[in-house]
Amino acid sequence: MSVVRKGKAGLLQMTLAKWNAMSASEAAEAALPCSGSRAWARGLAERRPYATVEDLAKAADEVWRGLGEADWQEAFDSHPRIGQTKAKAATAESLAWSAGEQAQVEDAAKAALAEANAEYEARFGRIFIVCATGKTAAEMLGILRDRMKNGNATELREAAEQQRQITQLRIRKWMRA
């Protein structure tokens, strides 16, 4: 029997069987915090049922790669800036996951990241997205500075790839039962 329970961070976790059994709209809403893109969540829900979490993860990548820039931007907007706790548009689950993913951001580095984030946003028109899990603030700052050298199209693809990686981590957290 499938179970729904609260995990260590208080986030809704469930089994794949429970999610497969939901209505399409409920399933999309449940998946939304993993990415932040409603089109992604709907596309993932429409492909159900999945036999394994690996199948779900593979489909998540396929759906993500088939989305357009506006859908990617919606996902980007669900993240707080590195070193901050608020986002343009995010679910409570997404913000809690972001806090855990950014746990390595030391207070001393927040000012430098804030300045670099502002430069990035002025240049590219969106927040800097990086898969922060396991990275120190100094590493993220170095990545941000390196990516400032990218052209617009290259940087959009890199941001989308970072979002894909974040989504993969979140799917596994979400489906951990």
Q: Is the pLDDT of residue 84 over 60?
A: no
* Enzyme catalytic residues: 79
Q: Is the pLDDT of residue 1 over 50?
A: no
Distance in angstroms (rounded) separating the CA atoms of residues 158 and 17: 33
Interval 157-170 mean pLDDT: 97
Q: Is the pLDDT of residue 170 over 80?
A: yes
The verdict on pTM exceeding 0.75 is yes
Distance in angstroms (rounded) separating the CA atoms of residues 54 and 124: 33
pLDDT score recorded for residue 2 = 33
| Of 18 and 91, the one with more pLDDT | 18
Q: Which two tokens stand for residue 61?
A: 């990548």
Element (H, E) at 4: strand 4-6
Q: Which two tokens stand for residue 113?
A: 């990241």
Superfamily holding 12-177 = Oxo-4-hydroxy-4-carboxy-5-ureidoimidazoline decarboxylase (1.10.3330.10)
Q: Is the pLDDT of residue 9 over 90?
A: no
Q: Is the pLDDT of residue 171 over 90?
A: yes
Q: Is the pLDDT of residue 3 over 50?
A: no
| Of 15 and 84, the one with more pLDDT | 15
Q: Is the pLDDT of residue 159 over 90?
A: yes
Write the CA distances from 162 to 6, 16, 107, 132, 155, integer angstroms.
27, 24, 23, 9, 10
pLDDT tens-digit readout, 19-68: 999 999 999 999 999 999 999 999 999 999 999 999 999 999 999 999 99
pLDDT tens-digit readout, 98-142: 555 554 456 667 788 889 999 999 999 999 999 988 888 889 999
